[in-house]
Amino acid sequence: MPDSHAAVPVVAIDGPAASGKGTIARQVAAALGYHYLDSGSLYRLVAHQALATGTDPGDGEALAALARAMVVRFDGDAIRLDGADVTEALRAEAVSAAASRVAVHPAVRSALLERQRGFRRLPGLVADGRDMGTVVFPDAAPKVFVTASAEERARRRRRQLAETGIDVNIQSLLRDIRERDERDASRSAAPLRPAVDAVILDTTNMAVEAAVAAVLALIAPARR
């Protein structure tokens, strides 16, 4: 990472699916006036491209080529791929499930690494994902690992889907979340785990506002 980046503060917020890390990270970024990186969207973009092109999800090199070729632009809450707004398409369950399979490939993670680090710009960055504190921004401070029980995460995911008119069986969601947790934690490249110096934040019974306040309290006053 270029030395000039060292002066740009980064808050790393990692955690499993539906833990609330994205909502927390966005609100922390807004409170600090920092840039925001949703690293998961990059993997969903690769998954979207793989599904659209019929690329084998087991072919890491082919997927990495898709990752390198993507022309991506984050425009507020909108995500544009090769000029087209794909924000809604990336929320599809098929894309979310494929993203977890895509992310196991070291070649894909390597292809996206510098793209993610490129988000590090003044006045600062809040990055959420699964390996922000362990791999992408190892010098981030603070590092927070957001978690919640699998049952609570399944309930949250069901509410999210219900808001879009999709009714999904809670037991099916719970099974999918547990399988994804296992896949993310056992992959050879950047497995899901807290950084050794991360603060664990269990949001099972915590309101979003309280979780945001807890993260902000970890940030040195001089940086706020």
Cα–Cα distance, 210 to 108 (Å, whole number): 35
| pLDDT for the residue 5 | 61
Domain range 9-34+123-217, CATH class? alpha beta
Alpha helices in the chain (DSSP H): 21-32, 39-53, 60-69, 93-102, 106-117, 150-163, 170-186, 208-218
Backbone angles phi, psi at 12, to 5 degrees: -100, 125
3-state secondary structure of 14: strand
| pLDDT for the residue 2 | 44
For the chain, give every domain's residue range.
9-34+123-217, 40-122
| pLDDT for the residue 220 | 67
Do 9-34+123-217 and 40-122 come out as alike in CATH topology? yes
Residue with tokens 């991506």: 72
3-state secondary structure of 153: helix
**pTM for the full model?**
0.88
| pLDDT for the residue 1 | 44
| pLDDT for the residue 187 | 83
Q: Which fold has domain 40-122?
A: Rossmann fold (3.40.50)
- Along the 224 residues of the chain, how does pLDDT read in single tens digits? 444 566 899 999 999 988 999 999 999 999 999 999 999 999 999 999 999 999 999 999 999 999 999 999 888 788 999 999 999 899 887 898 899 889 989 999 999 999 999 999 999 999 999 999 999 999 999 999 999 999 999 999 899 888 878 888 999 999 999 998 998 888 878 888 999 999 999 999 999 999 999 999 999 654 55
Q: Any idea what the Cα angle at residue 193 is, between residues 5 and 181, rounded to 5°?
A: 125
Q: At what angle do helices 93-102 and 170-186 cross, to 10 degrees?
A: 20
User: 85 with 79: CB under 8 angstroms?
Assistant: yes
* 4-33 CB burial, b ≥16 within 10 A, e <16: ebeebbbbbbbbbbbbbbbbbbbbbbeebe
Q: At what angle do helices 106-117 and 39-53 cross, to 10 degrees?
A: 130
